[in-house]
Chains A and B, each alone.
Chain A
Amino acid sequence: MASPPSALPSPGLGGARLEAIERWAWRIPLPTRRLLLLLAVAVGAALVLSGVVGAAVLSRNSDAVHRARTSGVGVAQSATEFRTQLAVADAQAAVTLLSGGLEEPADRAAYDKAVLDASTALTAAATLGRPEDTDDILQLSEQLVRFNGSVETSRANSRQGYPVGSAYLSQARELARTEMVPRADRLRREGERRVAQAANDISGPVSAVGVAAVAVATVLLLAAATIVAGRTRRLVHPAIAVAAVAILVALAVILTSVGDQTNELRSAATDELETFAAANDASSALSNLRVTEINAVAARGSGDALFAQFRVDADALRSRLLGQGSVSLVAQLDSYTSAVRAVEDADTAGDNQAAAALTLTGDSGNTFDDARRAAAGEVAGAQEALTSRVDAADDASRDPVLLIVFGVVAAALAAAGILARARRYR
């Protein structure tokens, strides 16, 4: 068993503490030289290993953020955009019903743009999605072609004065309502699920192991420094102190990276994505209101139930918007619903032609366009916030090489510092 030297130098500034450390250090039953050699090897290895493990965790988390951005947020955004544009296309196609297939060029252009945007959103989803999304995306793509085909057939028949045109339009709407919207919603929720999953992965056990590895190495280094101080009767060894600083920086890097990524992704999954989806839902609901209004007018005198449905849906949308704090959009919605009341009054009075004119070219159409623009603005704002949040998660990623560098530097310094003291003992 090792024993302390018979004559100790008188304690300096840290005398009392150093004495306590010395007593503790001398309890280890190994000769000082051998003990220091062992400590140099053990601490060096632990620091290098912690750097490698930490780097692996940082690399894995960076990949998780990337996946959350692409197959999570990307797919959810694309699916939501598809659904919104489909609703816009549906509302524009409904104009065909009232205009005999001869809608204004601007209405036709708006329909074409909505279909093109929906198609573009699907392409984006295909690019960003996972293999298991392929079936949904292919189905939506094929259904979009069928939807557009039915609308075009409706338009062509209506232009010839054939009543079958309205049946084709109903078919397109039924396809959108029963097949396309549920599938797009499902794809969106799948994307949201992946973002939440990524947040959980980053804050999960693997990250904890990485942080723990660096923390354990730090503890080992500090313990070794204490032993060295006790055996050598010198409280501070510069190389070991710098090594401690290096590994503490590494610990701070991995902790802040994991913490920030988790917080940002969790927020994206629970706040920004919900806000984005809510903004899109509002936009779709607005388009659906327009479809209900047009159908009510197209019912040629028997649209009472549809006008009643319009009021119920408009009230529900208004409440939802107030809950979301979308005050400006509520104002636009109120203008639109007031205009539709005038349409309903004309229709109820038996003047269906006047009601149709108000819907197509009067206040109703104009206020709807204003509301739709406002809704699109809210969607764009929500999308920007979501993108910023994911960018922040990405920014919180750290280069894994940093951890390796810190680990290796700390290991080299710690080993050098301990070995330098060991050389004094034979």
Chain B
Amino acid sequence: MTVVGDSGLPHDAGRRDALHHRERLRKKITEQLKERIGEEDIVAAGPEKKIRVPVKGTKRWQFIHDRGQGEGVGQGDGAPGDVLGPADDGNGRAGEAGIEPGEELYEVWLDMDDVEELLFSELSLPRLKAKTGDVEVTETTFDQIARNGPQLDKKSTLRENLLRNAKRGRVSLGGIDKPDLRYLSYRDLPRPRNRAVIFLAMDVSGSMTVARKRMARLFFYWCVQFLRSRYEQTEIVFLSHTTEAREVSEEEFFNRVESGGTKVSSAFEAVQDIQRDRFPADDWNIYVLHVSDGDNFTADNKRALELIEMLTGICSLVGYLEVDSNSGGSHKLAGYYEREASDLDRFVFARAAEDRELWPALRKFFASDDVEAAIR
């Protein structure tokens, strides 16, 4: 018989695979969050509270018998007719690795910082350019290769070794020694902070029902969260409009209840006025996002589009989101834009009928430039 003190296996294999598992889980959490950004409890959580995210899609799929149907055998007390507590998965199958159907439902507690980190890493302000009046800030960047530093850089170490060997007439790796070692190091770089202003315009007219207003506000809530966490230097201008538009405070914007008719052009006129007044295009990257249910006075559609065309001349993006629980209608604004302005550069419109469509809309507006380049 043999007893050996070791298995000869790598000791950290378990931890290694566990890390892979957690990394995959993290990705699935992100997917899950995107579906859930329409849910109030995330928004209501506020910056301090943690939110609970049950992560679906981590189930280990298998064909299994209908749960709670059929029969089984158990061990223990009980006379025929007695009702007992929850059965252990019915069939008492013994657990060989990888064999039992795995109902793996993870629940993860996240604070808002995590949520934002997971979600917003995919978003950016498109076509952000240098403008006069940009501020400079210093940022620490890890991109220097140096002879000393906090972290060994294997690639450049190998390259140095190859070079050193080649100088001595040997074309191969080997004898890695102190002079070869290269480290990843950091430097402080001055980075311009590009100045940007974003106009958020919301339709608060009578046709915006409670549900539609709720969606609009959720959308703007995430816009604001995103901008504040990623672009500190961004100015945000809040506008509410019915048949006329006016600039409002953030608090008013998220809470104001109004009614009346809708003239979308009023919002863009207000944007134009404020922009001319306070945000010259040479000094500012300009973004406009408008959310409405699309029930505009038909006669006003043409005027709205003219203003949008003008704005796209100076803006990096003009976006329009149509919130409409019974979506579709071609008489609506999105339908009009689709017919008249589908190839207008820098104009992006989207529809969201359900909460889970809010994330794709955000993605569409705040697609990073390289993603956009790939689409075009």
Chains A and B bind each other: no
Residues of A within 8 A of B (CB): none
